[in-house]
Chains A and B, each alone.
Chain A
């Protein structure tokens, strides 16, 4: 279970497993000590622990495996280890010691007998990632200036996400096996965070190309090309440094100034777009400079063996927005925790009142498999369940018809080794995992070796029962079918935007209770996290059953929702000055807000509702009224000598409002070809 392709990966998994096994065993001892003879109290504590570890497993992605082990080790120690509370401590200790012993043996093998190093993986992953981000940046620039759309941006974005994941993994694994890398771990982690910020800002940039595609940016922002060249050189320099070449480039500080005469010739909405573009470009500038500095620091540290002096912690764009200061609940993770807890409770009750085949072991199996199911997609779960049943029956047949005829341990060893080899070499994914689990269940070698058909058949039936309960529960708690999940999540997305839009206003932040601010944080989290969840889930929709909507269309849906989320975030994060300005436009903003809320409310009930021409026109009219009002305010303020800072505030607000309107219209236009009705259709899966 801990065997992974490289030594570093194996050691990282071993550390996480140990980090999970020890607390899991301790918790088991504590729970059984509190409730040795009280089954309902035991159930309460056990389900509480399962709930907590599952929620943490889904939330804390970095230590996900440790939380998983913590959850199931406690169940194993409590339910299958001791025959009574008398030998509980011994069972817990043996579980920990045996596990550590097994892991130590494999670590020694992976270090001395079969070492596969991970050396240079971080630099390689970083170099590839920087190259992809440079291409994405170049794509945006080409699209704005040369209107070239030939490059496959979607493929680049997918590569970027994969490479970010590779970098994260490489940092985790290479750090374990290389002391020099360990010393600069904090710098690599920082670099990783900066690249995530670059990805986010490039994503936001991509969603806004259309806004200034008609404007001659070279004229309005004279340094635009110079800064673009500088940013490109930074990307190139980072790649060179990561390849081990010498530093040749120094950072240049180029400010992106606005040419006032060209700027004044533009309409107010265009000016707002230009200022938003300027802000985005400045963020890209700051982040790439930070990334280059970070790489230089890593390289210089490695070559001069000096302690890194970087005291910075996180790039500012990574900081999560929290109004209330309370932890924000993720509803999908909460649902996952309810799922695994319900499985444990249900099998516990079945054990007490029915005592079906599998008996007490079913509780531990249910909890473990439920936690495992939560880390994979529904289609994989179905495959895993199917192969587990098939694997269990094949293993049962081998146990009954072949194994009793083996008269030596060599024969038994050959059978198990052969089985494991066939499963690992010829199969992959769910089939491999299910096969390995089925074989592992047969490795209960003792001297003399005794075979019990009843015990094995009991176990097999227990596995089937547990899988049945788990699949039934999945449908009771929430439909796991991907197309239904996409529909629900899209509706949830619009429910959150509707809620957030209703709350936008100059006085909205004042006098809000803690609960109201927490609620706002929750909906903000929903809005920001749902587009990626929808994209991830949507790609598993069975195209044979729902042929009208391609995966390409699902990606388009995700991109549109992402664009909406960015625009809303910009508006929500507007400065207090902007909100004060909104006071002056109160009536017009309320009208505009009303239309947006109306549209999003409709989509929160049915995401496929087409935007009527009437609503579209109403939205455009409201935006026009707002722009006219801006013109009036501008003329009035111009007479009172409008400062540059104040003008920027005007445009920030106009840009925010315009961005939300355009993203809403764009969503309606891009998703009108989706066959929502087909996704709603009931089919057997």
Chain B
């Protein structure tokens, strides 16, 4: 048998939500926290263009959480 990790939907009271939606929501929240921390420690000045960097961080986190959720 081939063992494939198929992404599973989340269900809230019978309503199915795609895993990517959950991953992206967590990704956005995590990116916000990261941005705040980078600002606090004056590390954001090392980025060329923070608005674009923020989008990139959201994508990285979304992929990461998507992968982690898939493992659970």
A residues neighboring B (CB under 8 Å)? 400-401, 453, 472, 475, 479, 545, 681-685
Contacts of B36 in A (CB 8 A): 684
Contacts of A683 in B (CB 8 A): 39, 44-45, 50
Q: What separation, in Å, do the CA atoms of A682 and B53 have in the docked complex?
A: 11
- Asked if B35 contacts A684 (CB within 8 A), the reply is yes
Residue with the highest number of chain B CB atoms closer than 10 Å, among A401, A681, A683: A683
Having A472-B55, A681-B45, A684-B53, one finds 11 other A-B pairs with CB under 8 Å, namely A401-B13, A453-B15, A479-B51, A682-B44, A682-B48, A682-B50, A683-B44, A684-B35, A684-B38, A684-B44, A685-B50
Closest CB of chain B to A463's CB: distance in Å? Answer: 14
Contacts of A400 in B (CB 8 A): 15
Contacts of A545 in B (CB 8 A): 39
Q: What separation, in Å, do the CA atoms of A173 and B13 have in the docked complex?
A: 52
Contacts of B48 in A (CB 8 A): 682
Q: What separation, in Å, do the CA atoms of A682 and B47 have in the docked complex?
A: 7
Whether B67 sits at the interface, judged by CB under 8 Å, is no
- Asked if A475 contacts B45 (CB within 8 A), the reply is no
- Asked if A475 contacts B52 (CB within 8 A), the reply is yes
Kindly supply a per-residue 1/0 record for chain B positions 49-60, scoring 1 wherever the CB is within 8 Å of any chain A CB and 0 otherwise. Answer: 111111100000
Known: A400-B15, A401-B13, A453-B15. A684 touches B49 (CB 8 A): no
Q: What separation, in Å, do the CA atoms of A683 and B47 have in the docked complex?
A: 8
Contacts of A479 in B (CB 8 A): 51
Q: What separation, in Å, do the CA atoms of A475 and B54 have in the docked complex?
A: 12
Contacts of B38 in A (CB 8 A): 684
B residues neighboring A (CB under 8 Å)? 13, 15, 35-36, 38-39, 44-45, 47-55
Q: What separation, in Å, do the CA atoms of A685 and B36 have in the docked complex?
A: 8
- Asked if A475 contacts B15 (CB within 8 A), the reply is no
Q: What separation, in Å, do the CA atoms of A520 and B62 have in the docked complex?
A: 51
Task: Select from chain A the residue with minimum beta-carbon distance to B57.
Answer: A684
Contacts of B44 in A (CB 8 A): 681-684
Closest CB of chain A to B31's CB: distance in Å? Answer: 9
Closest CB of chain B to A172's CB: distance in Å? Answer: 39
Contacts of B45 in A (CB 8 A): 681-683
Q: What separation, in Å, do the CA atoms of A358 and B9 have in the docked complex?
A: 21
Q: What separation, in Å, do the CA atoms of A400 and B15 have in the docked complex?
A: 9
Contacts of A685 in B (CB 8 A): 50-51
Task: Select from chain A the residue with minimum beta-carbon distance to B21.
Answer: A461
Q: What separation, in Å, do the CA atoms of A453 and B35 have in the docked complex?
A: 34
Known: A453-B15, A545-B39. A682 touches B54 (CB 8 A): no
Task: Select from chain B the residue with minimum beta-carbon distance to A400.
Answer: B15
Q: What separation, in Å, do the CA atoms of A617 and B37 have in the docked complex?
A: 47
Contacts of B35 in A (CB 8 A): 684
Contacts of A684 in B (CB 8 A): 35-36, 38-39, 44, 50, 53-54
Q: What separation, in Å, do the CA atoms of A682 and B52 have in the docked complex?
A: 11
Q: What separation, in Å, do the CA atoms of A475 and B50 have in the docked complex?
A: 11
Q: What separation, in Å, do the CA atoms of A682 and B43 have in the docked complex?
A: 9
Contacts of A682 in B (CB 8 A): 44-45, 47-50
Q: What separation, in Å, do the CA atoms of A475 and B53 have in the docked complex?
A: 12
Closest CB of chain B to A211's CB: distance in Å? Answer: 42
Task: Select from chain A the residue with minimum beta-carbon distance to B49.
Answer: A682
Q: What separation, in Å, do the CA atoms of A558 and B52 have in the docked complex?
A: 31
Q: What separation, in Å, do the CA atoms of A545 and B54 have in the docked complex?
A: 16
Q: What separation, in Å, do the CA atoms of A684 and B34 have in the docked complex?
A: 10
- In order of increasing CB-CB distance, the 5 nearest A-B pairs are A684-B35, A683-B44, A684-B50, A475-B51, A681-B45
- 29 cross-chain CB contacts under 8 A: A400-B15, A401-B13, A453-B15, A472-B55, A475-B51, A475-B52, A479-B51, A545-B39, A681-B44, A681-B45, A682-B44, A682-B45, A682-B47, A682-B48, A682-B49, A682-B50, A683-B39, A683-B44, A683-B45, A683-B50, A684-B35, A684-B36, A684-B38, A684-B39, A684-B50, A684-B53, A684-B54, A685-B50, A685-B51
Task: Select from chain B the residue with minimum beta-carbon distance to A681.
Answer: B45
Residue with the highest number of chain B CB atoms closer than 10 Å, among A453, A545, A685: A685
Q: What separation, in Å, do the CA atoms of A400 and B14 have in the docked complex?
A: 11
Q: What separation, in Å, do the CA atoms of A422 and B33 have in the docked complex?
A: 30
Contacts of B15 in A (CB 8 A): 400, 453
Q: What separation, in Å, do the CA atoms of A677 and B52 have in the docked complex?
A: 21
Closest CB of chain A to B34's CB: distance in Å? Answer: 8
Contacts of B54 in A (CB 8 A): 684
Contacts of A472 in B (CB 8 A): 55
Task: Select from chain B the residue with minimum beta-carbon distance to A461.
Answer: B21
Q: What separation, in Å, do the CA atoms of A685 and B54 have in the docked complex?
A: 9
Task: Select from chain A the residue with minimum beta-carbon distance to B32.
Answer: A684
Q: What separation, in Å, do the CA atoms of A684 and B57 have in the docked complex?
A: 12
Residue with the highest number of chain A CB atoms closer than 10 Å, among B13, B48, B51: B51
Contacts of B13 in A (CB 8 A): 401
Contacts of B52 in A (CB 8 A): 475
Task: Select from chain B the residue with minimum beta-carbon distance to A680.
Answer: B45
Q: What separation, in Å, do the CA atoms of A400 and B51 have in the docked complex?
A: 34
Q: What separation, in Å, do the CA atoms of A545 and B36 have in the docked complex?
A: 10
Closest CB of chain A to B16's CB: distance in Å? Answer: 10
Closest CB of chain B to A481's CB: distance in Å? Answer: 8
Q: What separation, in Å, do the CA atoms of A178 and B55 have in the docked complex?
A: 54
Q: What separation, in Å, do the CA atoms of A632 and B58 have in the docked complex?
A: 71
Q: What separation, in Å, do the CA atoms of A479 and B49 have in the docked complex?
A: 10
Closest CB of chain A to B15's CB: distance in Å? Answer: 7
Q: What separation, in Å, do the CA atoms of A109 and B51 have in the docked complex?
A: 47
Q: What separation, in Å, do the CA atoms of A479 and B44 have in the docked complex?
A: 17
Closest CB of chain A to B52's CB: distance in Å? Answer: 7
Q: What separation, in Å, do the CA atoms of A271 and B57 have in the docked complex?
A: 64
Contacts of B47 in A (CB 8 A): 682
Contacts of A453 in B (CB 8 A): 15
Closest CB of chain B to A476's CB: distance in Å? Answer: 10
Task: Select from chain B the residue with minimum beta-carbon distance to A479.
Answer: B51
Q: What separation, in Å, do the CA atoms of A400 and B12 have in the docked complex?
A: 11
Residue with the highest number of chain B CB atoms closer than 10 Å, among A400, A453, A682: A682
Q: What separation, in Å, do the CA atoms of A240 and B65 have in the docked complex?
A: 71
Contacts of B53 in A (CB 8 A): 684
Q: What separation, in Å, do the CA atoms of A684 and B40 have in the docked complex?
A: 10
Task: Select from chain B the residue with minimum beta-carbon distance to A544.
Answer: B39
Q: What separation, in Å, do the CA atoms of A2 and B25 have in the docked complex?
A: 35
Task: Select from chain A the residue with minimum beta-carbon distance to B51.
Answer: A475
Closest CB of chain B to A462's CB: distance in Å? Answer: 14
Contacts of A401 in B (CB 8 A): 13
Q: What separation, in Å, do the CA atoms of A401 and B15 have in the docked complex?
A: 10
Closest CB of chain B to A118's CB: distance in Å? Answer: 44
Task: Select from chain A the residue with minimum beta-carbon distance to B13.
Answer: A401
Q: What separation, in Å, do the CA atoms of A550 and B12 have in the docked complex?
A: 48
Closest CB of chain B to A257's CB: distance in Å? Answer: 61
Closest CB of chain A to B33's CB: distance in Å? Answer: 11
Q: What separation, in Å, do the CA atoms of A95 and B51 have in the docked complex?
A: 39
Closest CB of chain A to B38's CB: distance in Å? Answer: 6
